[in-house]
Amino acid sequence: MNIFKRIFVFLCLVIIIQLNLCPSSYAHKSQSTEFYHQIWQLVRDNYYDPNFHGVNWKQYEHKYDKQIKSMADAYRYSNYMLSSLEDPYTRLLDPSAYGDESDAIDSKVVGIGINIQQSKADGSLVITRTLEDSPAYEAGLKEDDVLISIDNHNAVGLNPEQAAELIRGAAGTKLDVVVRRQNTNLAFNIERRQITIHPVTAKKISDDIGYIQLSTFISGDAAKEFKNALNKLSSTKGIILDLRSNPGGLLSNAFKIASMLLPQGNIVTTISRTDCATNYTSGKCLTDMPIVVLVDEESASASEILAGALKDNSRALIVGTRTYGKGLVQEINQLPGGAAVHITVSKYLTPSGLDINKIGISPDVVVQNKAEQLATAKQYLTQQIAYRNHNNTSLANTAVAIK
């Protein structure tokens, strides 16, 4: 199963996992009809907007009963029903797609090792990252390459999920990919293989400054790897946290990582149809080093929760461009037969009360160029480190004078 599907199915998602199995009380209905009705009930009971975006949800309860004769029909009409909400995040996943999603959470996938996202400007599929030591990296695919064709199928106009269907295949099989790079089309023949996803990359970029890139929140190992990264960089005096092109993932990872960086404060407030809950730090902050967070227009969902929490609590300087603007939370509901449905169950507010949906988070310092974003972060941290060193020296001298 392909890494495209696993990573990019989570574009702009914050996810809560919940299992919902078919109740035995519906055994008298056909499997296909019950499948449709279970989805209808889950949306009726859990969708965050009690007005269903102006849709008369009741009308869909039995609207397609006569047309549903098979599971293929059930999928088709369930998709018709869900599309009426005009909510791209409330959607049905077939068993293959849900399997991909589960594998992504487990951090082990079969694919070529790239991140893709759909451009807001023209709908094209753009590579935002190639994983190190992956088949794509070794073949020469690069960030900002635009997908033109996948195994001789035109990729123009496809969404990430449709592209994943074409890219998916068994380990050891070959994939033909054509990309556009600076007005030139380039062809690649790449072999799929199993890849272990490491969502965190950590390194020193100077003696005093550490760099942590967090590429996704979907991996179940994200928080653990982030903690290990902080330990690895404990000898540094400032941290650059790179959330650029991070499409989000598990809400729990955002909470855990925020608690590692925030000594106190509100992380996020979620508002469902029936409840309003504020999540606070755990009180287990691991570092007080100054932090700069890098963001861009593809930093979404859990990335925005973390960036918003650090910004609103004055814990970090946010540098880059305005983020994606996805302020909704989805719940994964498992269905019979291995399928699942994502349902938007709440919206969220940053600690300052900001609803960032379709708006995004505005950086403290707007910098368009990626290289300049990194340079700005380094400059700011150098100044902060020098300021701290000066103050610590002054305090030490004062203490000596008092003695």
DSSP H or E stretch at residue 348? strand 340-349
Whether 237 and 321 map to the same domain: the answer is yes
**Cβ-Cβ contacts under 8 Å for 84 (sequence gap 6 or more):** 55, 60
Residue 326 is a catalytic residue: yes
Residue 299 lies in a domain: yes
Section 105-128 average pLDDT: 83
Residue 364 has pLDDT above 60, yes or no: yes
Query: Residue 393 has what pLDDT?
Result: 57
Distance of CA 222 to the CA centre of its chain: 11
Residue 3 has pLDDT above 90, yes or no: no
CATH number (domain holding residue 278): 3.90.226.10
Q: Which residues pair with 295 in a beta bridge?
A: 320
Strand ranges for 146-305 from DSSP E: 146-150, 153-154, 174-181, 184-191, 193-196, 200-204, 209-214, 238-242, 248-250, 266-272, 276-280, 291-295
Query: Residue 302 has what pLDDT?
Result: 96
CATH number (domain holding residue 121): 2.30.42.10
Catalytic pick from 107, 134, 301, 303?
301
What is the secondary structure of 217-231 as a DSSP string?
Answer: B-STTHHHHHHHHHH
Provide the domain limits for residue 138. Answer: 116-196
Residue 312 is a catalytic residue: yes
191 touches 130 (CB < 8 A)? no
The tokens describing 363, both together, are 């950086």
Residue 372 lies in a domain: yes
Residue 102 lies in a domain: no
Residue 364 lies in a domain: yes
pLDDT in tens, 302-321: 999 999 999 999 999 999 99
Catalytic pick from 237, 256, 311, 326?
326
Neighbouring C-beta atoms of residue 41, cutoff 10 Å: 14
At 301 the three-state DSSP class reads: coil
Whether 246 and 325 map to the same domain: the answer is yes
The tokens describing 266, both together, are 């509100």
At residue 107 the predicted structure's pLDDT band, cuts being 50, 70 and 90, is low
Residue 268 has pLDDT above 60, yes or no: yes
Residue 377 lies in a domain: yes
pLDDT in tens, 62-79: 999 999 999 999 999 999
Whether 217 and 285 map to the same domain: the answer is yes
Whether 307 and 282 map to the same domain: the answer is yes
Whether 305 and 177 map to the same domain: the answer is no
Catalytic pick from 5, 256, 312, 346?
312
Residue 24 lies in a domain: no
